[in-house]
Structure 1
Amino acid sequence: MQPLRRGDTGPAVVEIHRMLSQFGLLGDATDGPADHFDQVVEHAVRAFQQQRGLITDGIVGPATYRALREAGWTLGDRMLALLISTPMSGDDVVALQEQLLELGYDTGRPSGVFDEQTERGLRAFQRDYCDISDGVCGPSTLRALRQLGARRVKGGRPHLLREQELLRQAGPRLRGKRIVIDAAHGGPNRGVTVAGVTEADLMWDLARRLEGRMAATGMEALLTRREDTCPTEAERAAFANAAGADLVLSLHVDANRSMHAQGLATFHFGNGSGITSTVGEALAGFIHRELTSRTAMLDLGTQARTWELLRLTRMPTVRVEIGYLTNLGDRRRLLDPAFRDVVAEGVLVGVKRLYLQGQDDQPTGTFTFSDVLARELAREDTAPAISRRS
């Protein structure tokens, strides 16, 4: 669909009006015609985007439109099942995933997409509490879920505990860890482009620098794209899931209509209802602190979002936005190969800090690539860390 914004009119805007009214975001505030995208509608869209962890720009693009459609479903509105060609998605799927997780059934991250892992978790629940284990969430399954509503796992969300336990078991060594590096855009899609400088080229170069450093530590670094390709966000997430990655690192730069916008931000999976990737949040924090300390870029914080790559990956995923190409100072930094080396080192050290879990650590900004290599070599003669692939 074409993005809808203030000033647009037509049937598509009528649909946006209807959905925003359904969620109580418009009320009686708008006096304009239902087919007009006015300032009140824009404010309602921004409020919805903020609630859902989307970019708060007041524009209804593909991601916002998808979220509006999905928010209209509640659990019980329809039968839920695995459809390979066009997977079912919506808030009803999120509700099902959350309930199963809280009852102790592993459906993976509550992404809102009914995938194979969700079906496995549902079948396991049905085997225990339903007459038929068919992987379809219908009336009998909903009755069983309601009856067991009080029997939730206590002491924290189980999927968060699983994520944290996997991190603990992984051990402090980097060797053997499988990391997917996602360089933004690629191929014909050059991303942000300013004065002939493209996001795709800069992030490809940064990804290769990071890949080399990770390989030197014994990590297995995989790239989501080639220099001449541009997979969709869903395809990049599917690649990481199929690879069984331990972590995903997505590298981007930003742009803004104001040349004064600048700085560095990191993002992890999380939405407005309290669902978050705790390990992803921790990794985003480590990387963010390392980079702001080493680069002196403006600190724009660590934030939760529901972007497709963050939402659809089954492992902790962090998106790093390294400055604004539209800002002269940030652009000059990004064009300097030595600066990109500093960023690559900072990201690697952030990953190392995650696995150290506070043990034998150093102050932020003081850990170097040489330190990381020395520690990895020093552990060569020690017992190997527990790995889920060992």
Structure 2
Amino acid sequence: MTTEPTYRRGDSGPAVAAIRERLARLGLIDAGSIPAQGEPVFDDAVENAVRHFQQTRRTTVDGMVTPGTMRLLEEASWRLGDRDLVPSPAEPPFGDDVAELQRSLLTLGFDCGRVNGAYDPTTVGAVREFQRNVGLPATGVTDLATVQALNRLNRRMAHGGLLHAMRESEAIQSAGPALPGKTLVLDPGHGGADTGVRGGGLIEAEVVFDIADRVKTRLEKLSVTTHMSHGPGGSPDDRRRAEKANELGADLLISLHCDFHSNPAASGVAAFYYGNDRFGHSSPTGERFAGLVQREVTARTGLANLGTHGMTWDVLRYTQMPAVRIELGYLTSPHDAALLASQRFRESCADAIVVAVQRLYLPPESDAPTGVLRLAELRSH
């Protein structure tokens, strides 16, 4: 767990000055708004600018500069050509310049995976391939010469995610409908000292780990190789959870959470997939799978359907396979908390998730309507 500070309204000091400077460079606050005397303050204007920035970045909108938001502000400051992008397996460069590069490579037909702003080995490999094709030394370093070669091709970059989208969809189709042989990672939210949300006498980390364990048992009976992203005592950060799924060569990742809200009337289930409007890229299979999970859970549990949404959380952004995050109700809702305390409800959630996994791989002519496919029927596919 990170020990880096979080900045919020009312704070002041050098870090707040740096935040204001970055927001001003992005055009989100007036560069002349910093007071001539005294320390810069995290005021209403800063909070509103941070909320707007978080909204455009498809991340949690809370108006606070957490370590994650601070990292996104830093990434937003880079444009392609501002710096040389040098491969670094230990800590690859991140930034909007990398995302611009990835989108351009995908448009030109070079597979760098998804547009996630990380100069990872897949992106480096695509750069080397591009360099070989245009007669540059295949160093994997995106330097000025490489950027100029990209620009000279004069291609439109608006559809940079289409190649990856097609390959992702093709991977699902070619995998076939049978579940045996597939690998899935279950990611119970939080863990260890990080217990997550509390409400209705329940603890989020305990609830989602229990549901994940039920899903794991069902999938293993269907001969699906299933891994947990961590044990009950661990709480790796979201990037590490994604990296583990990548290392395992997983076909899918499912992250389970419960939600909270200051209004106890907030209730329902929502599902999230990787979607980044800023760079014109999303995971189409993740979006489809999120919809399947969402509909199955609501049909089998009666929870309100709060829809599916594209987000850029690290556990969705850095996975190389389709990934979804499911918010299984609000622990701050007496209605939802009572359901989540029920063993029958947890069984229904587990059934819904497993059925959604099977429906993702079934061809349209073999699929069944939402809420009617049973686990016993899956063994026949």
Partner of residue 348 from structure 2, selected from 342, 360, 368: 342
Q: Does 1:210 align with 2:211?
A: no
- Give the total of aligned pairs: 375
Distance in 1 (alpha carbons) for counterparts of 2:59 and 2:102: 21
Identify which range, 66-75 or 121-130, moves more after superposition: 121-130
Partner of residue 26 from structure 1, selected from 13, 26, 29: 29
In structure 1, list runs of 5 or more residues that go unmatched. 377-390
Match of 1:242 in 2: 247
Contact conserved, 1:6 with 1:37, CA < 8 A, in 2? yes
Q: Percent same amino acid among aligned pairs?
A: 41
Match of 1:364 in 2: 370
Residue 29 of structure 1, CA deviation: 9.5
Match of 2:187 in 1: 182
Contact conserved, 2:103 with 2:160, CA < 8 A, in 1? no
Match of 1:383 in 2: none
Match of 1:94 in 2: 99
Partner of residue 324 from structure 2, selected from 278, 297, 318: 318
Partner of residue 269 from structure 1, selected from 266, 274, 293: 274
Residue 194 of structure 1, CA deviation: 3.0
Distance in 2 (alpha carbons) for counterparts of 1:3 and 1:164: 39
Match of 2:146 in 1: 141
Distance in 2 (alpha carbons) for counterparts of 1:79 and 1:73: 11
* 2:180 aligned counterpart, secondary structure: coil
In structure 2, list runs of 5 or more residues that go unmatched. none
Distance in 2 (alpha carbons) for counterparts of 1:301 and 1:63: 25
1:61-113 Cα offsets, whole Å, 9 max, x none, are: 11111111100000000000111222110000111111111111111111111
* 1:270 aligned counterpart, secondary structure: strand
Match of 1:388 in 2: none
Contact conserved, 1:276 with 1:304, CA < 8 A, in 2? yes
Match of 2:13 in 1: 10
Match of 1:304 in 2: 310
* 1:149 aligned counterpart, secondary structure: coil
* 2:281 aligned counterpart, secondary structure: coil
Distance in 2 (alpha carbons) for counterparts of 1:39 and 1:235: 34
Residue 267 of structure 1, CA deviation: 0.3
Contact conserved, 2:104 with 2:160, CA < 8 A, in 1? no
Amino acid in structure 1 at the alignment position of 2:259:
D
* 2:253 aligned counterpart, secondary structure: strand
Contact conserved, 2:270 with 2:327, CA < 8 A, in 1? yes
> Do the aligned partners of residues 135 and 320 (structure 1) sit closer, same or farther apart at CA in structure 2, a change above 3 Å counting?
same
1:107-150 Cα offsets, whole Å, 9 max, x none, are: 11111111111111111111111331111000111111011232
Identify which range, 192-201 or 248-257, moves more after superposition: 192-201
* 1:292 aligned counterpart, secondary structure: helix
1:240-263 Cα offsets, whole Å, 9 max, x none, are: 001100000000111222222221
Distance in 1 (alpha carbons) for counterparts of 2:101 and 2:155: 15
Match of 1:123 in 2: 128
1:152-203 Cα offsets, whole Å, 9 max, x none, are: 7989711111101111101111121111111111122211123552111111
Amino acid in structure 1 at the alignment position of 2:217:
G
Contact conserved, 1:32 with 1:38, CA < 8 A, in 2? no
> Do the aligned partners of residues 275 and 153 (structure 1) sit closer, same or farther apart at CA in structure 2, a change above 3 Å counting?
closer
RMSD: 1.9
TM-score by length of 2: 0.94
Contact conserved, 2:114 with 2:161, CA < 8 A, in 1? no
TM-score by length of 1: 0.92
Residue 231 of structure 1, CA deviation: 1.4
Contact conserved, 2:161 with 2:282, CA < 8 A, in 1? no
